[in-house]
Chains A and B, each alone.
Chain A
Amino acid sequence: EVQLVESGGGLVQPGGSLRLSCAASGFTLSNHWMHWVRQAPGKGLVWVSRINHDGSSTTYADSVKGRFTISRDNAKNTLYLQMDSLRAEDTAVYYCTRVSSGYNDYWGQGTLVTVSS
C-alpha cells in the first residue's frame, strides 16, 4: 500500500525556518518525481515545488523561489522541504504528492504550518 506521511509542521515566527519531511512507503521512491502542494485555511490547492527522480532538477513556484528548497534522500525513502524566511502568507497545510505520468496520484495527509508572531 502506497503511503506518504508528512511531519515537521508547527508554529513559527515570521522570518523563521522549518523543515518538512515526507516518509514514503509501499513503492520505490526513486521511480517517481515528487511535488509539494499547499492549501491555506479555507482556500484551494496551490503547487509549491517539484523534484525529479534523483534530485538533480527542481522547480519552484514564484511565491517561494529563493526561500524554499526541495530535496530527497531515496535511500531513506524521504522527501524534504526546507522553508526559510517564512511569511504569514505561507500558513497552510503542506501535502507531499507522488507523481505518475504528470499527475499527482497519491497524497499524504498533510502537515500544518502556521506562521505567526
Chain B
Amino acid sequence: EVVMTQSPAILSVSPGERATLSCRASQSVSTNLAWYQQKPGQAPRLLIFGASSRATGIPARFSGSGSGTEFTLTISSLQSEDFAVYYCHQYNNWPPLTFGGGTKVEIK
C-alpha cells in the first residue's frame, strides 16, 4: 500500500499570503497525484490532477508540482474562500487507492 503523508497538519496563513502544502508518497506514484479541497459539510472538490493540471473552473492561484514521491500544492494569494482542508490522493498503485491525512489551512 502506498502511504501518503501530508505536512503540515495545520497551516495558519493570513489572507493574501502564500500557502505551500506538501505531500509525500512512500513509493513513486509518477505524476498520478490529485489534490482536493474540502470545506465543512461539503464533498471534496477536485483542484489538481496529474500532479500539475488544474481542474475545470479552478482559479490560477492554485498550482501543483512534483513527481515521483514529492508533491506540492501552492496557493499564491489566499482568499477567504480558500480556508479549508486539502487532501492529496495517489491513483498510480492500487488497490488500494490512498489519500493523505489532510492539511487544514486556517486563518492566522
Q: Which residues of B contact A45 (CB under 8 A)?
A: 36, 44, 87, 89, 99, 102
Q: Is the CB of B96 within 8 A of A47?
A: yes
Q: Which residues of B contact A108 (CB under 8 A)?
A: 43
Q: Is the CB of A107 within 8 A of B97?
A: no
Q: Is the CB of A47 within 8 A of B55?
A: no
Q: Which residues of A contact B105 (CB under 8 A)?
A: none
Mark the stretch among A24-32, A67-75, A83-91, A97-105 that contacts chain B. A97-105
Bound CA–CA A60/B32 (angstroms)? 20
Q: Which residues of A contact B91 (CB under 8 A)?
A: 102-103
Chain B: interface residue total (CB-CB under 8 A): 24
Q: Is the CB of B45 within 8 A of A107?
A: yes
Q: Is the CB of A44 within 8 A of B99?
A: yes
Bound CA–CA A25/B98 (angstroms)? 27
B59 at the binding interface (Cβ < 8 Å): no
Bound CA–CA A62/B95 (angstroms)? 9
B49 at the binding interface (Cβ < 8 Å): yes
Q: Is the CB of A105 within 8 A of B55?
A: yes
Q: Is the CB of A103 within 8 A of B96?
A: no
Q: Which residues of A contact B46 (CB under 8 A)?
A: 103-107
